[in-house]
Amino acid sequence: MVARLTAITVKNVYRLRFPGISLIMKTKDETEARKLENEIKTSILDIVKKRKENMDEGVDESRSDYLGQLVKMANNSNEGKRITVEQMIDELKTIYGAGHLTTTSLLLWTVFLLAINQEWQDKLREEVTIPPVLTVTRQGERDIKLANLNLPAGLNIFISILALHHNSEIWGNDVYCFRTDRFTNGVAKATKNNASAFVPFR
């Protein structure tokens, strides 16, 4: 369900609609997405409920996986450190959706690159750094001025990792070459002192 919801989101992320139109008329994707949202929430809540019951009974007391940590945080006696159920659901959706899909894409892309660049196979046994997603999104919490742009609070900002990582002004004329040794002297050197232009997805 999360994979399907992620696919719908990616498909529609750059499609613009008139504000408020969804209140009057919903697309097929919007209707399916809303149904999936509700089903995912119900499914996650059922899993969380079972985990909490086990933890209360001492069955899963020693479990320290991600779900166990989130359940503990949602039931923290310190209100300042407690997370809401919605926050817990969002965290799990991120891991199930974005985490799974991007990791799969990263592994597939890595194998492909190694297959066509055989001279790098021995050099890249320990680590390969390639962005597995095209963009990241951030939402401004307050009004901010960025260079000549005035960005209002609540604005979604799309940062294109693909564009940044293929900018020849930053990386040089060999930007399209598969050369991990460009990082030998650090990110700052590789990006001509534009370290923020390197956005590895973690």
Report phi then psi at 200, rounded to 5: -70, 140
Q: Is the pLDDT of residue 126 over 70?
A: no
**CB atoms closer than 10 angstroms to residue 170:** 16
| Out of 40-54, 85-99, 119-133, 173-187, least confident range | 119-133
Query: How far is residue 71 CA from its own chain's centroid?
Result: 21
Q: Is the pLDDT of residue 50 over 80?
A: yes
The H or E element containing residue 40 is: helix 28-56
Q: How far apart are CA 108 and CA 156, in angstroms?
A: 29
Question: Across all residues in the chain, what is the average pLDDT?
Answer: 81
**Strand ranges (DSSP E) for 10-72?**
none
Place of tokens 């320290």: 64
Query: What percent of the chain has pLDDT above 90?
Result: 10
3-class DSSP string for 100-127: HHHHHHHHHHHHHHHHHCHHHCCCCCCC
Q: State the pLDDT at residue 180.
A: 78
What does the pLDDT look like over 139-167, one tens digit per residue?
Answer: 888 998 888 889 998 888 888 888 888 89
Q: How far apart are CA 82 and CA 35, in angstroms?
A: 28
The H or E element containing residue 92 is: helix 85-94
3-state secondary structure of 156: strand
Please report, for the chain, how many H helices and E strands are present, in that order. Answer: 9, 4
Q: State the pLDDT at residue 32.
A: 94
pLDDT band at 62 (very low <50, low <70, confident <90, very high): very low
Q: How far apart are CA 41 and CA 59, in angstroms?
A: 24
What does the pLDDT look like over 169-194, one tens digit per residue?
Answer: 999 999 888 887 888 888 888 899 98
Q: Tell the burial category of 199 from Cβ atoms under 10 Å away from its Cβ (0-12, 13-18, 19+).
A: middle
The closest of 163, 167, 142, 162 to 154, measured between CA atoms, is 142
Which tokens go with 120? Answer: 């790098």
